[in-house]
Each structure stands twice: as structure tokens, then as C-alpha cells.
Amino acid sequence: MTTHKDRAGRDHSQSERERTELAMTGGPAAGTASSASGTAGRTLSPGELAALHDAVATQNLLGLGTPAFTASSVLALMASLEALSAAYPQLVNPEFTGWVDQLYGLLAGSSTSYDQNFPALYLTWQVSQFPFDPASETVTVPNLGSVQVLLVVQDSLSPRWTSWADSIQVGGQKYGFYPGGVYPAFRNQCKINYTVQIMDESILFGNEYVQGAASREPWSPTAQPPAWNQALTSLMQSWGPAGCPANVFPPGTFVGYAARHLAVLDPGSWTDAEATKTAVQQVWDAQLAELRALAADSGPLTAQTCLYLLYLLLAVRSGDSECQAAVKELMNLGCSTPGHPNDIVGNQLVYAALMGVSDPAGTFAWTYPQRLQLLQDLQQLAAGDDPAAQALTSSLTATLRLQQVDSSYPEQDPNDSTNFDERKADTVAALRASLTGWQKQSA
């Protein structure tokens, strides 16, 4: 039995049998490391990593392995869905794009305790974000010019007159007005309209008036993903002139407006919020199947594929117990190279991915600040109390510490004097051997 401390400072032991099995499966002990091309569809482009961060961050709020929803985490989920939809056009990888499409599609069909599907609550959140500053609109009225009108949200289609104490003084003449605001923002169009009728106080029954109008457009459905846009647009159109359902869009004035809508999203009111996680678990099932398929693939890995695999593991980690067990098991599996004997998959995977983005001849060719930021972003995505999250965090933290103290890492490795290309080849070959062994054990 050979004992060695890995880059995270943990003890790992490898028996003679394990080393023999690595050699038989093409590991570094057999001297079969290669730098062959990666598997099609399992590479990432530099421009999509920010969108992938948003995708994994969203899954970190929606997985069955995540903490139960709270009022704040529901709001974080809605904001994350908005950020991901905005970043969607940046996605290039077909697998991750498909999973994002699947996630939004499942959310669109997810029912809630309000007898409305999930998109209605997403719109409730959007209404709660209405920009109340300024709290008035400038309305242009014929023959009078510009008139400042305080925002008032009506709870019906009938106009509501203000008191004469709130009347408008124009040119020494006193006028009454009412806002004919469309309540709330979502009817046929995503817009809050204000129609103001100005009446001369000398007109007894208010039959003569002049009218002006203004509108504020706080939000409109993002164009992406296409199915999500269609779900939101169709829902708003289906409500029509009757307006939004009052149970998810509580009527009232602007006083307490945001709080009333946010209360709808509180798990204390949204009693089956956790069921949303079950409704979208198919995304994690598909990702776990891809993880197993990648492990079963007999082809060699590349450093680019390792970056894809790292993001895949971060995504799978927030799923159900089966997903988390798979990530933990794989991350802690033995994986050795001549320069890093008796190491584990987690450390070697982060190392390989970092070499992939560091390679001056590669697609990324990232500098030290870019690599440092990448590791910090990945560490943020890995945060969690479950064992799978801890395994990911441990390996990312260990590599981040090395990167922080040595800006030339991993082009140069203080623990391995082998040249960069050979180290990279050794690492991906060792990872392929470990993945193959894991897949055989799991089959």
C-alpha cells in the first residue's frame, strides 16, 4: 500500500491492485497518455462561460438537493431565471443549450397552488420589480400642455376620481383628473398605461373634459429562450381585457404594491413551491445520463472536454441523492499521474481544465487574471453543505490557492518539472482511465 497527500492535503492510498488496474485500462502506469482530439459536442467556447455560470447558478436554486425554498431564495430564483434568459444567446454548447431549453419548458408547464402555472408567478415577480421612482408620470393634455400625475393603480376598469384637494392647477384654473391606469402591467401588452381626463370644476356633471395619455414600460418578455418567451406572451394574451388573476396580482394602490406581490411568492403563501423542484428533475436526470455516457465513451479526453465535464459535475451536484452520490464518488476516485501520484479525480480534473484554458496554442489562451477569476467563479458555484459540494469545493480551493501564489501556474507546476504538453497529456489520460473504471463499477 502506497500513501500520499494530494494537493488538497488529504491522505490517499493506492494498492498494488489499483495501480495494476490503471495500467490495464490505459492509465499513466501503462504509458499510454495521448493528446487526441476530444468528443464532438463536449467542448465549451470562451464566450459562453458567463451564460453557463448563470445556468448552473439557476440549477443551484432549483435542484432537489438544494435547501428548501425561503422567501429570499424564491426571489433569487426569479432573478436568476431573468439573468439566464438574458444570457441565453451566448450559449453555444448544444448539450447545455438543450438542458436550459428543457428547464424553461418544464417550468412553463409546472402547476402551482394558485391554479396558475409557474410563469404566472414569474410575472408576479416582474410586477413587484416595477420602477416606482419617479412616482408620477408627465401626461400631455391638449390645450393644457404637460401635467404631472401621481401613479395610481386601479383595481377595476372603472375610473376613480381623485378628491378636489388633489386637483390640478393649470393657468389659474382648477381641474380634477383621474388616472385610467391599466392594472396591473400585464394585459394584451406588457405595459402600464395612464389615461388622464382633465375636467373644469365648473362643469357640474363632468361631461366635458380634455384627455391626455402616457405609459410606462417596466419590462417586456425576453426573446430567449424561444419557448419561454412564447409561454409568457401567450399567458399575457390569454388574460386579455379582463386582466390578471387577482390571487397572484393583488389589486390596490402603489402603497405597499411591491410587498403585496412579493407576499404571493413567499413559500408560506405559495404552499407547493417545493413541487417545482420535482417538476424539473428531468434536467438533472438527463445530465446524469450524459455524465455516465461520457465516462463510458472509449475515446480519449482532452483538456477542453475536462472543462465541459467540470461544469457538468457542478450542474449535476444540485440534483437528487443519486446525482449527488455520483458526483461525490467520482470526485473522490483515485487518479494518478507521474507528477501527482495517488491523487484524485477532483484535483486532476480541475488541473486539466485549467491547463486547457491556459494553453497558449488553445482556444482560450487565458492569462493569469482570467484563470483566477474562472476558479473563483467555479468555487462560488460549488458552494454547499452536501458532500458532493464539499468535494468540488475542496479541489477547486486547492487549485485556486496554487494559482494565487504562482501566476505562472499551471504552465509551470512546482510539483512536476515535466513540460506542459506532456503533463496535460498525462493528466487527461489518467482521467480517462479513472472515468472508465468508475463507469464499469457503476454499470
Q: Where are the domains of the chain?
A: 2-68+278-442, 70-94+109-129+227-273, 136-216
Q: How far apart are the first and last CA of the chain?
A: 27
**Residue 80 CB coordination number (10 Å):** 19
Task: Give 63-94 pLDDT, tens digit per residue.
Answer: 999 999 999 999 999 999 999 999 999 999 99
Span of 23-32, 171-180, 271-280, 339-348 with lowest mean pLDDT: 23-32
- Reading the block at residue 290, the C-alpha cell is 450524459
Question: Where are any strands of DSSP class E within 315-394?
Answer: 334-335, 343-344
Q: Which residue has the cell 499551471?
A: 410
Strands 145-150 and 168-170: unpaired
Task: Give helix then strand counts, H and E, for the chain.
Answer: 15, 10
Largest Cα separation within the chain, whole Å, is: 102
pTM, 2 dp: 0.80
d(CA 176, CA 168): 6
d(CA 331, CA 314): 11
Average pLDDT over residues 115-135: 82
Task: Give 233-285 pLDDT, tens digit per residue.
Answer: 888 778 765 667 889 888 765 667 788 889 999 999 999 999 999 999 999 99
DSSP 391: H
Q: What are the helix (H) ranges across 244-344?
A: 257-265, 275-279, 281-296, 303-316, 321-331
Q: Name 343's bridge partners.
A: 335
Exposed, middle or buried by CB within 10 Å (0-12, 13-18, 19+), for 17?
exposed
